[in-house]
Amino acid sequence: MSVEQAGILRLGGEVPVHRLGFGAMRITGEGIWGEPPDLDEAKRVLRRVVELGIDLIDTADSYGPDVSERLIGETLAPYPSNLVVATKAGLTRPGPNTWVPNGDPAHIRRACEGSLRRLRLDRIELYQFHRPDPKVPLEDSMGELVRLQNEGKIRFIGVSNFDVEQLERASGIAKIISVQNRFNLVDRASQPVLEWCERRGIAFIPWRPLSTEGLEGGPIAAIAKRHNASLPQIALAWILVHSPVMLPIPGTGSVKHLEDNVGATRIQLEPAEVLALTAVGRGA
């Protein structure tokens, strides 16, 4: 079992990664807060990620906060030469399940320096602005990312939870090589953003890619049965064929669930199945 069948995408046109990454949000406690309930299992998940050939791990300083990054650094550093550890800044955490935007340049700088320490890196390969802050001009937040890039603290710049208008503004300030928005069979509100990425050959990193809420009784069940697969596996297989710039990052705190997610790459959906799945979620 490996991610070889997912195919390859080149970040920034330079760095090859398989088109199935790992989202490290769930290796924390309930509410994405504090330590994981089973620390040993969380570390086993991280080690298994590497064993399965996954070469992009996505995290953020706000996951825990700090916990996800710290565990990645403790468990995997020094990293395999082909492994990209991407992280994000721009959200603060006053408590469990609570997320507050902070795009202040000073905060972004402190967050970046903290991430470098926790991840045990000299440079972050992909650093992403987690969410625009309505209280801070986008130009100020993006400008700080460019300064960090010029200082050699980050290599590539990405953004998350952006709309097309914000992307146009941001791309006038920095070279954007990835966009991370919610996208799945059920929620396709970011389709215009995906198309923006496709036109530019930019990686689109869908978060929450496995959702099938409300679709359980439809065609997806028959398709899953035909392929001897779970509904989330079918949802992930559809994500992978929906666009060549897709780079999903399903996350979990369980080795079994991780292996199930990687198993989705073996599924070869028929054209009629792809059309049926595309139609069933349209307008959701």
**How would DSSP label each residue in 182-247?**
B--SS--TTHHHHHHHHHHT-EE--BSTT--TT-TTSHHHHHHHHTT--HHHHHHHHHHHH-TTB-
Query: Looking at the domain assignment, is residue 110 inside a domain?
Result: yes
Query: Looking at the domain assignment, is residue 279 inside a domain?
Result: no
Nearest alpha-carbon partner for 125 in 151, 154, 148: 154
The type of residue at 13 is: G
- Determine contact, residues 239/267, Cβ cutoff 8 Å: no
Pairing state of beta strands 84-89 and 56-58?
parallel
46-83 per-position pLDDT tens digit: 999 999 999 999 999 999 999 999 999 999 999 999 99
| Mean pLDDT along residues 240-267 | 97
pLDDT score at 138: 98
- 3-state SS record for 46-60: HHHHHHCCCCEEECC
Query: Looking at the domain assignment, is residue 74 inside a domain?
Result: yes
Q: Tally the domains of the chain.
A: 1
Query: Looking at the domain assignment, is residue 15 inside a domain?
Result: yes
Query: Looking at the domain assignment, is residue 31 inside a domain?
Result: yes
pLDDT score at 284: 42
177-220 per-position pLDDT tens digit: 999 999 999 999 999 999 999 999 999 999 999 999 988 888 99
Pairing state of beta strands 8-11 and 15-18?
antiparallel
* Cα–Cα dist 267/229, whole Å: 8
Work out the burial of residue 73: count CB atoms within 10 Å of its CB; fewer than 13 is exposed, 13-18 middle, 19 or more buried.
buried
| Mean pLDDT along residues 226-253 | 97
Query: Looking at the domain assignment, is residue 18 inside a domain?
Result: yes
| Mean pLDDT along residues 36-40 | 98
pLDDT score at 282: 57
86-106 per-position pLDDT tens digit: 999 999 999 999 999 999 999
pLDDT score at 42: 98
| Residue range(s) defining the domain that contains residue 98 | 4-211+244-252
Residues marked as catalytic = 63
123-172 per-position pLDDT tens digit: 999 999 999 999 999 999 999 999 999 999 999 999 999 999 999 999 99
pLDDT score at 2: 81
* Cα–Cα dist 33/66, whole Å: 9
Query: Looking at the domain assignment, is residue 218 inside a domain?
Result: no
Q: Is the per-residue pLDDT at 84 higher than 70?
A: yes
What's the CATH code of the domain at 141? 3.20.20.100
Query: Looking at the domain assignment, is residue 159 inside a domain?
Result: yes
